[in-house]
Amino acid sequence: MIRIIKIGGKLIENDAVLNGLCDELSACYRDSVLVHGGGSMAGQLSARLGIRTRMIDGRRITDRETLEVAVMAYAGWANKKLVAALQVRNVNACGLSGCDQKVILAHKREVKEIDWGFVGDIDRVDTGVLAGLLHRQVMPVISPITYDGAGQLLNTNADSVAGAVAVALSRIDDTELIFCFDKPGVLLDVNDADSVIPVLDKEKYAGYLEQGAIHAGMIPKLDNAFKTIKAGVKSVRLTDPCHLDGGTVLR
């Protein structure tokens, strides 16, 4: 089974969390692809450069200056921090963005009610490149910078990248998509870390939604996770970075 593991930029900045994740990966996750974000790192870099960050409903407007910052933060700072931490643990890792070996092709999002700027929506993932690296026991570490095939870099949501990679690789092997976040799993009570739901299927999920038992902030992530399962991913796991075999499993 191939595991696609997604981690956010805020967690990468926490050295204890980063070290715990890389220890886990070095122990038992060699057939894995790591996808990362870096929004908090991009925000910090923007502030240092005096570039204003514009957000709508928690999502970044990517104008030309912001795109340059995103490329520096995601494909540079965050990506190489992860790759270096893995190499220290003898995990042979290779950092990639979408334009490297044309691994992720995207198009600039169409302007409708909002002009998101240089934001990319994914068209294709080259599974041959990723499968080739995995065959050579190299772990791909993918930043959410994609490109349009004509030289234009694009900023793409890291959750979307992870989902697209998992769906694409599911055509050649079973895949598990793991979302790492700051909770031990999907909680029935957000204030109780022991209230993790161990297994969640569509029927149980619908019931919890009807009861209002799942925190509203989790709903978009869970909706998208079930879409990837419908598209061919064997299972999705939501957990914290230091316990990759724990958390909540979606089937």
Q: Which residues are annotated as a binding site?
A: 38-39, 60, 155
Enumerate the β-bridge partners of residue 145. 155
d(C-alpha 95, C-alpha 81), whole Å: 10
Q: Which region holds residue 77: left if phi is over 0, alpha if psi is between -120 and 50, else beta?
A: alpha
d(C-alpha 140, C-alpha 213), whole Å: 37
Binding site, annotated residues for substrate: 38-39, 60, 155
d(C-alpha 156, C-alpha 128), whole Å: 21
Cβ atoms of 105 and 98 within 8 Å: the answer is yes
Phi, psi at 81, each rounded to 5°: -65, -45
Using the Cα atoms of residue 183, residue 189, residue 193 and residue 198 in order, give the sign of their dihedral: negative
> Measuring CA to CA, which residue among 242, 2, 76, 37 is closest to residue 158?
37
Q: What is the 3-state secondary structure (H, E, C) of 91-130?
A: CCEEEECCCHHHCEEEEECCCCCCCCECEEEEEEECHHHH
- SS3 at position 51: coil
> In which element (H, E) is residue 12 found?
helix 9-13
Beta strands in 127-196 (DSSP E): 139-142, 145-147, 153-155, 175-180
